[in-house]
């Protein structure tokens, strides 16, 4: 048995790393043959850590057994919510970043590493057409990115009478961020949708006017660039214009949809996103990264700074670094890992073209699924997908739809989820994993047709 000390030498590092990499390769290799969902059971991992050293292989095998239970969100058959898959190149980047373990809260302490991270933010700002002075932050996910944006908006234009506007199909993290900022629940307005399930700009304008007449202070309008339930994109250009006319902060929640800007179809659908004061995107959704990676971009980096900068006498030795942001000053964290490498490495290693092609493929898979589901007479398909979220219902009603979902998920090959759209139970399918291809889509459609 090999013991690994707290401070291993180079040979031990290599050995530990090889065994861990073997474990990962074995896991990924077996996923096509293992069920996407397997019920969990109480397991020995609940035992407390021992006083004496354990054995790496035994511990890895316990982790492997535990990973066999529950939902394999990295599997090609996972089509629920927003599948990510998780690029192995990003995981390797993360291993390297964690091993180097540099402090990136202040640029002066690791200028070149912060520049690597910042190059990704600068590239994203350019991708969405944000002007000079734009900036942003890599967070642990969309919810935290949204919190940073809402805090910045409130700092700029909020007050005790502030009112925020979201769409009927907006993600709950916007209301949650507002609540965390101290905004009372009755200051959050839900703008109804048009018949096409997108935010109704006319109604938003009416609600803003009504609130002003009441002496309240509208401060933020949040549009969905790919809503979680439907994947549909709100009329960003119209809403952006309304926000500008009314002097509101325009937030675009592109946690799921914004990365489709890399595709021709996505770029056309996302017209108007360049008007945003803040954009949230989740690389752990539509850029295939492992969970724990969100991004907030802002039109003006100084808005994030005004809301987040802090000071302490123990920090006075640290200098500023011209041209690079101090992440501790533009986000809620002080100590933070070097989060940039898990994005930078895959982007540079595979090239943007690989992401563009993979996203285009997912759009085609959704189009295929939509077309095929329309051909099943007993299904109702309530919308044509903008991006990759496909919804359908059994014509016999909610109970039959629920049964259909349970039958597909129960078989263990594919995993779908459900939502409510226009008051009706709707089964929801989203081909977005980097591992999901035409073969899986054809099979799941066959399974659905058979189950109907």
Q: Give residues in contact with ligand PLP (CB under 6 A).
A: 82, 141-143, 171, 173, 224, 228, 253, 255-256, 282, 294
Work out how close the CB of 355 gets to ligand PLP at its nearest, in angstroms, rounded to a whole number.
Answer: 18
CB of 254 to ligand PLP, least distance (A): 7
Name which of 117 and 282 has its Cβ closer to ligand PLP: 282
| Cross-strand pairs, 129 | none
Residue 208 has which token pair?
Answer: 């803003």
Q: Which is nearer to ligand PLP, 234 or 329 (CB)?
A: 234
What six digits make up the tokens of 47? 């035992």
Nearest to 222 by CA among 165, 181, 144: 165
> Smallest distance from the beta carbon of 171 to ligand PLP, in angstroms?
3
Alpha helices in 158-214 (DSSP H): 172-180, 201-213
Cα(290)–Cα(94) distance, integer angstroms: 10
| Cβ at position 419, least distance to ligand PLP in Å | 11
- Picking from 75, 44, 52, the residue whose alpha carbon sits closest to that of residue 3 is 52
* 141/431 with CB nearer ligand PLP: 141
Give the distance from CA 170 to its chain's centroid.
Answer: 14
| Residue nearest ligand PLP by beta-carbon distance | 142
Quick one: 282 or 386, whose CB is closer to ligand PLP?
282
Q: Residue 154 or residue 284: which is nearer to ligand PLP going by CB?
A: 284
Closest by Cα among 31, 123, 40 to 86: 31
289 and 283 Cβ atoms separated by less than 8 Å? yes
Nearest distance, CB of residue 432 and ligand PLP, angstroms: 11
CA dist list (Å): 404 to 21, 83, 398: 39, 20, 10
When the beta carbons of 158 and 254 are compared against ligand PLP, the nearer one is 254
Q: Residue 173 CB, nearest distance to ligand PLP (Å)?
A: 5
How deeply is 322 buried, as exposed, middle or buried, from its count of CB atoms within 10 A (0-12, 13-18, 19+)?
A: exposed
Closer by beta carbon to ligand PLP, 103 or else 291: 291
Instruction: In angstroms, give the least distance from the CB of 295 to ligand PLP.
Output: 10
Q: Which residue intervals of 233-319 are DSSP H helices?
A: 236-246, 264-269, 283-286, 301-308
């Amino acid at each position: 048995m090999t013991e690994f000390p707290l401070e291993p030498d180079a040979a031990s590092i290599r050995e530990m790393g090889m065994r861990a990499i073997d474990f990962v390769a074995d896991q990924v290799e077996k996923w096509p043959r293992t069920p996407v969902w397997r019920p969990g059971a109480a397991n020995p991992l609940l035992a407390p850590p021992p006083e004496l050293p354990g054995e790496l292989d035994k511990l890895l095998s316990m982790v492997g057994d535990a990973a066999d239970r529950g939902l394999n969100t990295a599997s090609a058959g996972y089509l629920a919510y927003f599948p990510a898959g998780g690029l192995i190149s990003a995981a390797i980047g993360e291993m390297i970043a964690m091993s180097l373990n540099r402090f990136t809260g202040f640029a002066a302490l690791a200028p070149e590493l912060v520049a690597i991270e910042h190059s990704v933010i600068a590239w994203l700002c350019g991708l969405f057409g944000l002007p000079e002075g734009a900036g942003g932050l890599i967070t642990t996910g969309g919810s935290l990115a949204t919190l940073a944006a809402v805090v910045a908006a409130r700092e700029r234009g909020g007050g005790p009478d502030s009112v925020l506007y979201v769409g009927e199909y907006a993600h709950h993290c916007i209301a949650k961020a507002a609540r965390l900022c101290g905004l009372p629940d009755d200051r959050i307005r839900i703008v109804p949708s048009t018949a096409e399930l997108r935010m109704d700009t006319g109604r938003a304008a009416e609600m803003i006017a009504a609130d002003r007449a009441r002496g309240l202070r509208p401060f933020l309008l949040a549009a969905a660039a790919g809503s979680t339930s439907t994947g549909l994109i709100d009329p960003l250009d119209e809403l952006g214009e309304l926000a500008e006319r009314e002097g509101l902060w325009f937030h675009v929640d592109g946690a799921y949809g914004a990365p489709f800007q890399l595709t021709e179809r996505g770029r056309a659908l996302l017209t108007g996103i360049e008007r945003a004061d803040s954009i949230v995107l989740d690389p752990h959704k539509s850029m295939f990264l492992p969970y724990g990676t969100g991004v907030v971009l802002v039109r003006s980096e100084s808005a994030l700074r005004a809301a987040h900068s802090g000071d302490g006498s123990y920090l006075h030795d640290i200098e500023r670094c011209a041209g690079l942001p101090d992440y501790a000053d533009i986000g809620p964290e002080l100590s933070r890992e070097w989060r940039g490498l898990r994005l930078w490495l895959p982007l540079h290693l595979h090239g943007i073209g690989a992401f563009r092609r993979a996203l285009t493929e997912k759009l085609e898979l959704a189009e295929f699924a939509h077309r095929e589901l329309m051909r099943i007479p007993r299904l109702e398909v309530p919308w044509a997908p903008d991006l990759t979220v496909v919804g359908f219902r059994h014509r016999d009603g909610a109970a039959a739809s629920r049964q259909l979902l349970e039958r597909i998920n129960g078989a263990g090959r594919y995993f779908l989820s459900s939502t409510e759209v226009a008051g009706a139970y709707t089964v929801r399918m989203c081909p977005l994993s980097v591992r999901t291809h035409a073969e899986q889509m054809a099979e799941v459609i066959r399974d659905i047709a058979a189950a109907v």
